[in-house]
């Protein structure tokens, strides 16, 4: 087998491994962030107050602004020649966007918690700690670790 073909096969294998790892990471992150419909229904009151839906909308808007601020920081980092003042301004805007998003998210969580019973607040607390109160959909319980 020639050196060129050997190199091509190794490069192809490396690319396939990298793509498989990226795909597996994507699936894993998606499963971690996923809230099933039954979980969402169990956390929300039967008829959410108007202020709850308004607060959700505000959180979505501040999240979009946060993403735009992150993009502005990335653009300032890529700028050539480097502009220190532009980067400082972009980071200041990012910090403001993060602060506003956190404030709006906290308002939403307070409103949601006030509308839940004790069990609902316990499930919400588990979600905030990153615990899954139920197994991922379609996977069932896996049993004790081996």
pLDDT per residue, tens digit, the chain (146 aa), is 787 778 778 888 787 777 777 777 766 666 655 544 455 555 555 555 558 888 888 999 999 999 999 999 999 999 999 999 999 999 999 999 999 999 999 998 898 898 899 998 988 888 888 876 566 666 555 555 55
94 and 125 part of one domain: yes
Identify the three-state secondary structure at position 8: helix
In this prediction, residue 62 carries a pLDDT of 93
Q: 115 and 56 in one domain? A: yes
User: Whole domain around residue 7: which residue ranges?
Assistant: 1-34
Q: Are residues 26 and 60 in the same domain?
A: no
Query: Would 68 be classed as within a structural domain?
Result: yes
Identify the pLDDT of residue 32.
57
Per the structure, how many domains does the chain have? 2
* Measured distance CA(88)–CA(21) in Å, rounded: 35
Q: 87-104 in b/e burial notation, b at 16+ Cβ within 10 A?
A: beebeebbeebeebbeeb
Query: Are 18 and 86 contained in the same domain?
Result: no
pLDDT at 31: 61
- One domain, residues 27 and 74: no
Closest CA to 66 of 124, 112, 105: 105
């Amino acid at each position: 087998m020639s050196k060129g073909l050997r190199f091509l096969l190794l490069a192809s294998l490396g690319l396939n491994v990298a793509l498989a790892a990226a795909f597996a990471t994507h699936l894993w992150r998606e499963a971690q962030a996923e809230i099933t419909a039954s979980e969402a229904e169990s956390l929300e009151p039967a008829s959410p107050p108007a202020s709850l839906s308004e607060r959700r909308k505000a959180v979505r808007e501040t999240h979009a602004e946060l993403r735009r601020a992150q993009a502005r920081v990335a653009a300032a980092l890529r700028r050539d020649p480097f502009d220190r003042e532009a980067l400082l301004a972009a980071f200041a805007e990012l910090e403001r966007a993060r602060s506003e998003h956190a404030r709006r998210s906290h308002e939403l969580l307070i409103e949601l918690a006030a509308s839940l019973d004790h069990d609902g607040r316990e499930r919400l607390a588990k979600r905030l700690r990153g615990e899954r109160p139920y197994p991922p959909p379609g996977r069932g319980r896996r049993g004790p670790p081996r």
